[in-house]
C-alpha cells in the first residue's frame, strides 16, 4: 500500500482507538486532496497552483445520540474526540449503524502516471485551447483551467469496516467570452475524468462550434417549441428528477416519487445510472464516504424508478439497503449524491435530430433554472446560451427569452428522441435529448 494511503488509514485507526472506549459506536472518515491546476485568464497565462488539504471527520454515538467533529489537523485526535463527545450530548438520535465489514468494489481509479505529469503538460493543453479558440476569432477571451490531482479517502468504523482508496483526477475547463457592445456571449465546456483521456479536439471544437452558432442573435416568438437539451444543459432538465430520487427528500416526504419505487415515472427510453464503479471516472470509488461498497446503480431503468440515492441514515429511515452513494462536503456530514452520472444514449444520430426540427431550440445553458421548488417539476430559466433552429439548421442565438416546462411532464410524455452520441460534462456522460412541451416567452 502506498505510504500516503497507509498514513491516512493509520490516522483513522488512531482516532478510532481513542474514541472506542468512550462511545457506543464511532466512525472516522479521512480525506487528503492534492491538486495542481494551471490557469489562463482572458487568454493570458496567469499562474500555477499546488494545494494539499486534509480533513478528518469523527462521528460518535453516545447514549444513542450522534455527535460530529471535523479537523484539518492530523495527529490531534484528543481534541477532535472531546468535541465530538460534547456535541453528542445535544445530538439527535442516531437511528442507524455505521458500515459493517465489507470488501470494497474493485474499481480502476488510480492512474499512477498522473501525479507525475509535469506542469509543462498542463500548460501545453491549456495553450492549445487558447490558441484554437483565438484562431477562430482573436477577439474572444479564453480562460482555461487544466488540473490534475489525487484524492485519497479512508474510512474506519467501530462496526468493522476498514478501507482506503486513492483516485487520480484530471479536469479541463474552458470559458470563452466575446463582448461586442452590450452583447455578451459566454461559451463553456467542463470535463472531469480520472486520467487525461479527455478528447481535446472535441473539447476545442465544442467551444468554437458554440461560438459560431451564436455569431448572430435571432428573434424568437412566444410559443411552444420542441427543444434539444445538450449534454451541457442536462442538469437543468434533470434537476427535479435528481432532487426527487435523493433519499433525504424521500425520507422527509418532499419527493413526489416517495411511494413510486418500481413504477414507470419517465419515458421508457430513459435510463439513468449512477456509476461509481466506472473505470477512471471523475468520481469513481470502491466504497462511498460512509464505507458502503459502490455499484452501478440504476436510478431510472427504462423509465421505471429503480432506486433512490441513499446514505446510511435515509436508508435506515426508509428500511431500505444503503446504495453506496453517500458523499461528504466541508461540514463533514454525509448526504446522498451522484458520482459519475450516466444517461443511456438512444438510437438517433444527433445530426438527424437537429435536421428533424422544423423550428425549435437548442439549449446549452439556462440561468436561474435551479431556483424554485424542484419537487413540483416546474422549471423556468432565462436562456443564457441557446440557439434557434429553422428547417433543421441553427440560424443564430436566442436571447432575452424564458424557457419554462415541467420536467416530469416532458420527460414522461414529451421525449421525441434521444441521441446515439453522448458527451461529457463535469462527471456526467449524457446524450442530446429532444423534448416537446416547453414554452418560450419573451417580453416582446
Partner 1 sequence: MLSPESLLKEAVRRPGAEYIEIRVENSEITRIEFRGPRLDLVSQSAEFGVAIRVLVDGAWGFVSSSRLDDLEKKVDLAIAQARSLASRLTEKVTLAPVAPVRAKVPRLPGEDPRSVPLETKKNLLEDYNRQILGFGHHVKSSQVRYFDKATQLWLATSAGTYIEQEKIDLGGSLTAIATRDGETQMRSVGFGSSADFGVVRGHAAEVARACEVAEALLDAPMAEGGEYTVILDPWLAGVFAHEAFGHLSEADSVYQNENLKEIMRMGAVFGPPILTIYDSGREPGARGYLAYDDEGIPTGRQNLICQGRLVGRLHSRETAAKMGEPPTGNARAIDYRFPPIVRMRNTCIEPGDASFEDMIKDIEDGFYCRGSYGGETSGEMFTFVAAEAYRIRHGELTGLVKNATLTGNVFATLKNIDMIGKDFTVFDGAGGCGKGGQMPLPVSHWAPHIRIKKAVISGQAGGK
Q: Which is nearer to partner 1, 45 or 205 (CB)?
A: 45
Within 26-45, which residues bind partner 1 (CB under 8 A)?
38-39, 41-45
3-state SS class at 124: helix
The secondary structure of residue 231, as a DSSP letter, is G
382 binds partner 1 (CB under 8 A): yes
64 binds partner 1 (CB under 8 A): no
Taking the C-alpha atoms of residue 330 and residue 55, their distance in angstroms, rounded to an integer, is: 8
Q: Residue 359: how many CB atoms within 10 A of its CB?
A: 15
Within 143-182, which residues bind partner 1 (CB under 8 A)?
177, 179-182
Q: Choose one: 149-157, 212-220, 270-278, 330-338; the region binding partner 1 (CB under 8 A).
A: 330-338
Within 92-131, which residues bind partner 1 (CB under 8 A)?
92-93, 119-120, 123, 127
Cβ at position 389, least distance to partner 1 in Å: 19
Nearest Cα to 409, choosing from 382, 430, 379? 379
205 binds partner 1 (CB under 8 A): no
Q: Which residues contact 248 (CB under 8 A, 6 or more apart)?
A: 311, 314, 335, 336
Cβ at position 398, least distance to partner 1 in Å: 12
263 binds partner 1 (CB under 8 A): no
Taking the C-alpha atoms of residue 210 and residue 219, their distance in angstroms, rounded to an integer, is: 18
Taking the C-alpha atoms of residue 304 and residue 268, their distance in angstroms, rounded to an integer, is: 7
Taking the C-alpha atoms of residue 79 and residue 84, their distance in angstroms, rounded to an integer, is: 9
184 binds partner 1 (CB under 8 A): yes
Given 14, 208, 254, 395, the residue binding partner 1 (CB under 8 A): 254
198 binds partner 1 (CB under 8 A): no
- Give the per-residue contact string, 353-372, with partner 1 (x = CB under 8 A; - = no): --------------xx--xx
Cβ at position 436, least distance to partner 1 in Å: 15
Given 20, 212, 215, 252, the residue binding partner 1 (CB under 8 A): 252
86 binds partner 1 (CB under 8 A): yes
Q: Which is nearer to partner 1, 234 or 369 (CB)?
A: 369
Q: Which is nearer to partner 1, 108 or 128 (CB)?
A: 128
Tell me if 347 sits within 8 A of 422, measured CB to CB. no
CA distances (Å), origin 108, targets 9, 94, 140, 223, 323: 20, 34, 39, 48, 20
Q: Choose one: 86-94, 158-166, 278-286, 386-394; the region binding partner 1 (CB under 8 A).
A: 86-94
Tell me if 1 sits within 8 A of 164, measured CB to CB. yes
279 binds partner 1 (CB under 8 A): no
Within 333-352, which residues bind partner 1 (CB under 8 A)?
333
Cell of 86: 460534547
Tell me if 362 sits within 8 A of 346, measured CB to CB. no
Q: Which is nearer to partner 1, 414 or 431 (CB)?
A: 414
Strand partners, 434: 228, 417
CA distances (Å), origin 255, targets 115, 176, 305, 376: 42, 38, 12, 9
67 binds partner 1 (CB under 8 A): yes
Amino acid at each position: 500500500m502506498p505510504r500516503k494511503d497507509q498514513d491516512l488509514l493509520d490516522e483513522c485507526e488512531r482516532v478510532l482507538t481513542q474514541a472506542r472506549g468512550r462511545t457506543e459506536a464511532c466512525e472516522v472518515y479521512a480525506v487528503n486532496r492534492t491538486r495542481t491546476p494551471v490557469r489562463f485568464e482572458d487568454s493570458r497565462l496567469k499562474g500555477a497552483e499546488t494545494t494539499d488539504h486534509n480533513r478528518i471527520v469523527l462521528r460518535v454515538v453516545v447514549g444513542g445520540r450522534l455527535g460530529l467533529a471535523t479537523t484539518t489537523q492530523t495527529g490531534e485526535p484528543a481534541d477532535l474526540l472531546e468535541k465530538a463527545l460534547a456535541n453528542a450530548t445535544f445530538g439527535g438520535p442516531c437511528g442507524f449503524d455505521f458500515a459493517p465489514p465489507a470488501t470494497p468494489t474493485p474499481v480502476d481509479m488510480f492512474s499512477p502516471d498522473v501525479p507525475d505529469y509535469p506542469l509543462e503538460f498542463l500548460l501545453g493543453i491549456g495553450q492549445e485551447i487558447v490558441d484554437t479558440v483565438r484562431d477562430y476569432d482573436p477577439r474572444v477571451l479564453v480562460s482555461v483551467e487544466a488540473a490534475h490531482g489525487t484524492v485519497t479517502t479512508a474510512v474506519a468504523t467501530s462496526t468493522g469496516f476498514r478501507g482506503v482508496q486513492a483516485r487520480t483526477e484530471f479536469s479541463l475547463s474552458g470559458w470563452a467570452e466575446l463582448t461586442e457592445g452590450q452583447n455578451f456571449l459566454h461559451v463553456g465546456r467542463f470535463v472531469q475524468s480520472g486520467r487525461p483521456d479527455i478528447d481535446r479536439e472535441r473539447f476545442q471544437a465544442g467551444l468554437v462550434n458554440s461560438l459560431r452558432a451564436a455569431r448572430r442573435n435571432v428573434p424568437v416568438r412566444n410559443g411552444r417549441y420542441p427543444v434539444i437539451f445538450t449534454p451541457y444543459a442536462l442538469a437543468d432538465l434533470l434537476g427535479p428528477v435528481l432532487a426527487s430520487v435523493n433519499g433525504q427528500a424521500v425520507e422527509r416526504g418532499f419527493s413526489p416519487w416517495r411511494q413510486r419505487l418500481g413504477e414507470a415515472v419517465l419515458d421508457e427510453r430513459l435510463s439513468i445510472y449512477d456509476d461509481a464503479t466506472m473505470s477512471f471516472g471523475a468520481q469513481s470509488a470502491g466504497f462511498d464516504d460512509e464505507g458502503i461498497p459502490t455499484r452501478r446503480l440504476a436510478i431510472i431503468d427504462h423509465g421505471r424508478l429503480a432506486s433512490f440515492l441513499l446514505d446510511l441514515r435515509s436508508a435506515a429511515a426508509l428500511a431500505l439497503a444503503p446504495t453506496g452513494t453517500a458523499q461528504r462536503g466541508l461540514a463533514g456530514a454525509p448526504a446522498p449524491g451522484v458520482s459519475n452520472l450516466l444517461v443511456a444514449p438512444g438510437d438517433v444520430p444527433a445530426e438527424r435530430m437537429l435536421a428533424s426540427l422544423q423550428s425549435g431550440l437548442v439549449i446549452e445553458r439556462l440561468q436561474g433554472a435551479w431556483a424554485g421548488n424542484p419537487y413540483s417539476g416546474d422549471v423556468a430559466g432565462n436562456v443564457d446560451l441557446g440557439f434557434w433552429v429553422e428547417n433543421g439548421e441553427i440560424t443564430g442565438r436566442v436571447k432575452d427569452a424564458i424557457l419554462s416546462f415541467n420536467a416530469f411532464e416532458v420527460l414522461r410524455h414529451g421525449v421525441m428522441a434521444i441521441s446515439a452520441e453522448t458527451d461529457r460534462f463535469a462527471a456526467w456522460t449524457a446524450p442530446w435529448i429532444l423534448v416537446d412541451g416547453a414554452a418560450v416567452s419573451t417580453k416582446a
